[in-house]
Amino acid sequence: MGINESTIRRIIREEARRILRESEEEFDEEGDPEGDEGEDESSPESVIARFKEDGPRMWMRVSNDFHEMADGGDMDGFRDQQYPGWSDDDFRRVATELDDHFDF
C-alpha cells in the first residue's frame, strides 16, 4: 500500500497546524515581545517577525503552505481560521520576505 499525494498533503497540513499551534502557545507563554504592545498578532508584519525569530526550520516546515495560500488555496479552512481577512497578496508578501530572509 503506497501513500498518495492527497495523504501527504493532509499530513503536511496537520503538521503545519500543530507547529503553528505550538508556536502560538509558546508566544502566549512568553507574552508580547518588547516594543510590540498593541500590534495585531495576526498582521503580516507580526507573522514575518515571528518566523524570523523562530528561524529557518520553522519557515521550511510551512513555506509551501504560505505559497499555496498566496495562490488562493484555503487548506481546508485553515487560511480563514488562522488568518481571517488576509488577501493573497498578504500571504505572498510574507512568503517572499521570508524566502529572501532565509535565502530559499
Judge contact between 69 and 75, C-beta under 8 A.
yes
Q: Which three cell numbers stand for residue 48?
A: 514575518
* pLDDT at residue 37, rounded to an integer: 46
DSSP H or E segment with residue 57:
helix 56-70
What per-residue confidence (pLDDT) applies to 26?
66
pLDDT value of position 94: 96
Is the pLDDT at 87 greater than 70? The verdict is yes
Q: Is 104 or 27 the better-scoring residue by pLDDT?
A: 104
Q: pLDDT at residue 5 above 90? A: no
* pLDDT for 1: 58
Cα-only R_g, the chain: 14
What pLDDT score does 91 carry? 96
- The predicted model gives 79-100 an average pLDDT of 94
Give pLDDT tens digits for 15-72: 877 787 777 766 655 554 444 444 566 899 999 999 999 999 999 999 999 999 999 9
